[in-house]
Amino acid sequence: MRYTILIGLLLALAAPAAITSDSVLSIAIYGFMAASLAVSFNLIFGFTGQLSMFHAASFGVSAYIVAILVTTFKWNFWLAIVPAVVVVMILSLIVGTICFRFKLKEFYFAVVTMAFSEMLRLITLNWNSVTNGSLGITVVDKPSIWTPSGSIAVSSGIAWYYLTLALLVVVYIVCHRILASWIGRCLAAIRLNDQLGETLGIDVFKYKLLSFAAGSMLAGLVGAFYGFYSGFVEPHYLSITLGLDIVAMVLLGGVNSLIGPVIGALVLTALPHLIELSAELRIALYGAILIFVILVMPKGIIGLITSRKHAA
Amino acid sequence: MTQLVIGQLLNGVIVGSLYGIIALGVTLTFGLTGIVNFALGAFMMLGAYATWYLYDVTGLPYPAAVIGAVIIVSIIGYISDLALFQFTRGNLVNGLLVSIGMISVFEALVLAAFTTTPKDLTYVLPGAIHLAGIVLPKIKVAVCLVFLAVIFGTYLALTRTWLGRAAFAYAQNPEAAALMGIRTGRLQTIVVVYSTALAGLGGGLYASMYSIEPTIGSAYILKAVEAAILAGVGSVIGALGGGIILGVSENIGSVFFPSAFRDAYGLVFLIAILLVRPGGLFGDRP
């Protein structure tokens, strides 16, 4: 499995040489960002067993903070990421503390995090003087990268491709390191049976909060980049729809793996563009695929691949 | 000021009864099949469009159009239960995602058929009731009364009939209920179809008060889920109570605080209640 992932990464590194069309490149870039979101979400959902609906809020809040700091206060993009991620961390610690202190389970956790997420969306929608309401903020600036020969602005598709691929790799490695450590085993214990975990001396509250905050902060990191690539930030970034899209990506790819969400996100981002259909029918098809996957492939694409291997 | 507050209070009750009728469907489906059917909002939207089509395009009288819409929506509900929901029994996340997939399918198909242009029904029941300086449109009062009647009727049916007691028995202990001769599979199908019929009724009556668009369902299903949880999942009268509490807190909240945040007032209430009473206001489960 590890070699397959490495080969996939090498192919992704080499791919821009073969991609000539800008639209394909842009799909890949959106796909990488969606995949980063899905991987960070799966830390909370797949590996800790908490169905968080707060992910879109973390993503959106950070996108807003970075966009405001850069456009209004003329901050450097890379510097602006720091307060954005810190704010997301504080928010997720507050929401997480409330939910986990009161031991909200499954559906109740999902609803309360969704309620907090909706409140943040309403704030971004109505705080006109800061967020420009439903029109959102247009971001013209581009981040720059320091190289030995001076700083270059990330504006071309190729540059964004590598930047977002690097983002995905960073998010993936962070989640992988967390899960490979003793923290990951504590999270697994919580997912399987948190009461039993508690009796074994695991501080359930602490590790749930850790997983929730870490996943949310990674989502915040992705949000910072997303706003800059798409060129605008709007309240829709915090919507429940986005949160559910992330869940769909994770389930399509496969819940119990790190690479599954990456596959799911890439497929779901690319699929609507591969089929020539009117906008309405495209949404209908998206829904139909979602239903099909849930009912026919409960373990996702990755489950399908691994079960074939075992059968052979 | 008092008049304004009382007027908003009554408006809150009216909107709340609409939340309540969908919340009733949410609560029944969750109690018996273990899934939260988010597609009920889409079924409500289908009910509204079916009513509009039968009443304004075909020219049926309004009550007949609503009944026709309820029948159409129940048939769609039955087909979706047969084809989809029966495979997600007891699996919360899968049920959630299947119902969300259905929302996209339904909304996109209605959008393709009737475009985004909002549809308005020609006046069903014009006029308003004037009561001590408070003006209430007659249609809203009539709709609210129908919802209340249906919810109390459901309550009576659940407590007084064999089928209703079977449903309670199943909710308490599925295996024991099956051993006592309850056809559990059929019971679940009945509940799923009944909840879609309730949503269809909600949509049909909604169409007489507000203009309809393909996306109306999503706002209402969220409110209905909030109402169901607020009240405590599994409680029938609680679904109505939760809906009314939500409707009133939004309307009264927007009198005293900025009305742009009206959706947030219900959410604050929801979080507060869940933290103090995790089983909901009327629920007994911890």
What's the pLDDT at A308? 63
Please report the pLDDT score of residue B180 as a whole number: 84
What distance in Å separates residue A297's CA from the closest CA in chain B? Answer: 11
Report the residue of chain B nearest A106, measured CA to CA: B92
> Domains in chain B, please, with CATH?
2-276 (1.10.3470)
Instruction: Tell me, yes or no, if A200 comes closer than 8 A to chain B by beta carbon.
Output: no
Residue B286 has pLDDT above 60, yes or no: no
Enumerate residues 6+ apart whose C-beta is below 8 A from A190: A48, A49, A197, A202, A204, A207, A208
Cβ–Cβ contact A54 with B under 8 A:
no
Mean pLDDT of B103-111: 89
Interface test with B, best of A51, A105, A291 (most B CBs within 10 A): A291
Neighboring chain A residues of B263 at a CB cutoff of 8 Å: 118, 122
| Residues forming beta bridges with residue A137, ordered by sequence position | A233
**CA A172/CA A226 separation, integer angstroms:** 17
**Going by C-beta distance under 8 Å and a sequence separation of 6 or more, which residues neighbour residue A30?**
A229, A269
Mean pLDDT estimate for chain A: 86
How far is Cα B17 from Cα B12, in angstroms, rounded to an integer? 8
pLDDT in tens, B127-186: 788 777 777 888 888 889 999 999 999 989 888 888 888 888 888 888 888 888 888 888
- Can you state the percent helix, strand and coil of chain A, rounding each to 5? 75, 5, 20
Q: Minimal Cα distance from B83: which residue of A?
A: A295
What does DSSP assign to residue A147? E
Contact (CB<8Å) B112/A98? no
Distance from CA of B142 to the nearest CA of A (A): 32
CB atoms within 10 A of CB B36: 25
Chain B interface includes A93 (CB < 8 A): no
Mean pLDDT of A38-55: 91
User: How many Å apart are CA B125 and CA B62, to the nearest integer?
Assistant: 10
- pLDDT score at A311: 53
d(CA B97, CA A52): 14
Q: Above 60 in pLDDT, residue B284?
A: no
Quick one: average pLDDT of A260-289? 81
Identify the CA nearest to B126 among candidates B107, B141, B111, B144: B141
| CB burial readout A198-236, b (16+ within 10 A) else e | eeeebebbebbbbbbbbbbbbbbbbbbbbbbbbeebbbe
Asked if B271 and A115 touch (Cβ cutoff 8 Å), the reply is: yes
Residue with tokens 């899905």: A38
Q: Has residue A146 got a pLDDT over 80?
A: no
Check: CB of residue A10 under 8 Å from CB of residue A141.
no
At residue A219, the pLDDT reads 95
Q: Do A288 and B268 touch (CB under 8 A)?
A: no
Predicted confidence (pLDDT) at residue A258 exceeds the cutoff of 80: yes
Radius of gyration of chain B (CA): 19
A-chain residues near B101 (CB < 8 A): 286-291, 294
**Distance set, CA B125 to CA B10, B69, B80 (Å):** 19, 19, 34
- Tell me, rounded to whole angstroms, the distance of Cα A185 from its chain centroid: 22
B35 close to B93: Cβ distance less than 8 angstroms: no
- Scanning every residue of chain B, which has its alpha carbon at the shortest distance from the alpha carbon of A46? B93
Q: Is the pLDDT of residue A143 over 50?
A: yes
Give the whole-number percent of chain A exceeding pLDDT 70: 96
Mutate to test the interface with A, among B100, B229, B259 (most CBs of A within 10 A): B100
Q: Look at A102 and B36 and tell me if their CB atoms are within 8 Å.
A: no
Residues 221-250, chain A, touching B (beta carbon < 8 A): 240, 244, 247-248
Would you say B220 and B41 are in contact if contact means Cβ atoms under 8 Å apart? yes
Mutation target for A interface from B106, B221, B233, B274: give the one with most A CBs within 10 A: B274
pLDDT for the residue A242: 87
Beta-carbon separation of B267 and A119 below 8 A: yes
pLDDT at A310: 58
Inter-chain residue contact A108 with B98, CB threshold 8 Å: no
Kindly report the nearest CA distance between residue B265 and chain A, in angstroms. Answer: 9
Angle CA A42–A55–B233, to nearest 5: 90
pLDDT computed for residue A148 by the predictor:
67
Q: Interhelix angle for A240-253 vs B92-114, to 10°?
A: 120
Contact B93 A247 (CB under 8 A): yes
Domain boundaries, chain A: 24-127+152-307
Measured distance CA(B271)–CA(A95) in Å, rounded: 11
Q: Strand (E) positions, B100-219?
A: 128-131, 134-137
Work out the pLDDT band at A95, boundaries 50, 70, 90. very high
Q: Decide if pLDDT at B285 tops 50.
A: no
Nearest-angstrom CA–CA distance, B152 and B225: 19
Task: State the average pLDDT over residues B191-206.
Answer: 93
Q: Which two tokens stand for residue A76?
A: 């450097």
What's the ipTM? 0.78
> Among residues of chain B, what percentage have pLDDT more than 70?
99
- How many CB atoms lie under 10 A from the CB of residue A126? 16
What pLDDT digit, counting tens, does each position of A160-183 carry? 888 899 999 999 999 999 999 999
pLDDT tens, B32-81?
888 888 899 999 999 999 999 998 888 888 889 999 999 999 999 999 99
Higher pLDDT, A117 or A278: A117
Q: Residue A309's pLDDT is what? A: 60
- The yes-or-no verdict on residue B200 having pLDDT over 90 is yes
Cβ contact, residue pair A291, B112, below 8 Å: no
Q: How far from A189 is each of A131, A174, A185, CA to CA, in Å?
A: 41, 20, 6
Chain-wide mean pLDDT for chain B? 85
The verdict on a CB contact (< 8 Å) between B278 and A102 is yes
CB neighbour list of residue A55: distance below 8 Å, 6 or more residues apart = A37, A40, A41, A44, A215, A216, A219, A243, A246
pLDDT digits (tens, 9 = 90+) for B233-253: 777 888 888 888 888 888 888
CATH number for the domain running over A24-127+152-307: 1.10.3470
Give the model's pLDDT for residue A169: 94
